[in-house]
Amino acid sequence: MAYNKSLPLVDLHRHLDGNIRASTIWQLAEKNHIELPANSLEELMPHVQIQKSEPDLLTFLAKLDWGVKVLATLDDVKRVAYENVEDAYNAGLHYTELRFSPYYMAMTHKLPVADVVAAVVDGINLGIKDFPVQVKLLGILSRTFGVEHCTEELNGILTHKDEITGIDLAGDELNFPGELFIDLFKTARDANMRITVHAGEAAGPESVWQAINLLGAERIGHGVNSYKDQALLDHMVKYNIGLESCLTSNYQTGTVKDLSLHPIKQFLANGNLVCLNTDDPAVENTEIKQEFNLAQQVLGFDHDQFTTLQENAVKMSFTSDTEKQALLQLTRHS
């Protein structure tokens, strides 16, 4: 196995609403009388799972839509949250940070955003009682839907701020730059939320600079295009700003055309805090161990590099120093 078994398996960039099982989509559609573009689960798969590399990020993101379209009730939301914990445990994870966009999950059936947050929290709490895996929640502001809906999302998240560890900005990076969300992220930081931001995926290094300087990002989701700006990489080293790399995702979104040239190599060589993650496991048909196998087979990573990636993931986690030390003592072979 590619990863270091003496260290915990951690997934920091994992979308709860990008990990809704195809079988659950099928069952919820049937329960809620929602028409799907397929007559069987097998026929549904191409609509909810990437079959190849997509031309761009927005085409990729469309594959997530059916998962949220079938969430007609708060119990449905609770179910998919619970199943996310089970999936994380079955993947062999010791610790994960699950991020979700409450407005995205709420919008089709006009569920109250704050209630969706509460349902996710309930599902997670039920899950961790049944499956011994550590989970923290991150709330996403979906930039795709504009500032007004992001404000609604943040308000809903802050209603349950004791249960939510951090805030993320995700979605259409090109058309909704970070500068639009400065006030919302100031509010989030004032509420003691940890900050991670999707940047440098569909846009260039300037988007990453915005995330850091304007939004207060402590970590960058993807950050692929950071490699184009050495000053940016060095700044991130100096201030311990982490990079959440997702190999399969970056290939499937078309962000990286040739996986063997993924800049994670450059990030590691430069001393950047970088770790491996899944992004949207169900949509991408991947899991954390598969990401480590890819790093070994395609990038030629060795045991020492895996050790660094796994140690970085613990360092980058939005946990206390005490929790990090406890996590490093954990190993669960599966």
Sign for the CA dihedral angle at 111, 113, 115, 120 comes to: positive
Q: What is the pLDDT of residues 39-86, one digit of tens each?
A: 999 999 999 999 877 788 778 888 899 999 999 999 999 999 999 999
Q: State how far Cα 221 lies from the chain centre.
A: 8
Q: At 289, give phi and psi (nearest 5°).
A: -65, -35
Walk me through the domains of the chain, giving residue ranges and CATH numbers.
10-328 (3.20.20.140)
Asked whether the predicted pLDDT for residue 331 surpasses 80, the reply is no
Is 34 exposed, middle or buried, given 0-12, 13-18 or 19+ CB atoms closer than 10 A? middle
d(C-alpha 266, C-alpha 256), whole Å: 14
List the structure tokens of 302: 């060795």
- Give me the active site residues, please: 201
In this prediction, residue 56 carries a pLDDT of 81
**Residue 109: Cβ within 10 Å count:** 17
Sign for the CA dihedral angle at 42, 46, 49, 50 comes to: positive
- Rounded mean pLDDT of 299-313? 97
Q: How confident is the model at residue 330 (pLDDT cuts 50, 70, 90)?
A: confident
d(C-alpha 62, C-alpha 67), whole Å: 10
Sign for the CA dihedral angle at 316, 113, 175, 37 comes to: positive
Q: What is the pLDDT of residues 181-212, one digit of tens each?
A: 999 999 999 999 999 999 999 999 999 999 99
* Contact yes or no for 19/282 (Cβ under 8 A): yes
Q: What DSSP element (H or E) covers 219?
A: strand 219-222
- β-strands 219-222, 166-170: how paired? unpaired
- The model carries a pTM of 0.96
d(C-alpha 293, C-alpha 300), whole Å: 10
Q: At 277, give phi and psi (nearest 5°).
A: -145, 170
Asked whether the predicted pLDDT for residue 334 surpasses 60, the reply is no
- Rounded mean pLDDT of 150-162? 98
3-state secondary structure of 8: coil
- Rounded mean pLDDT of 13-23? 98
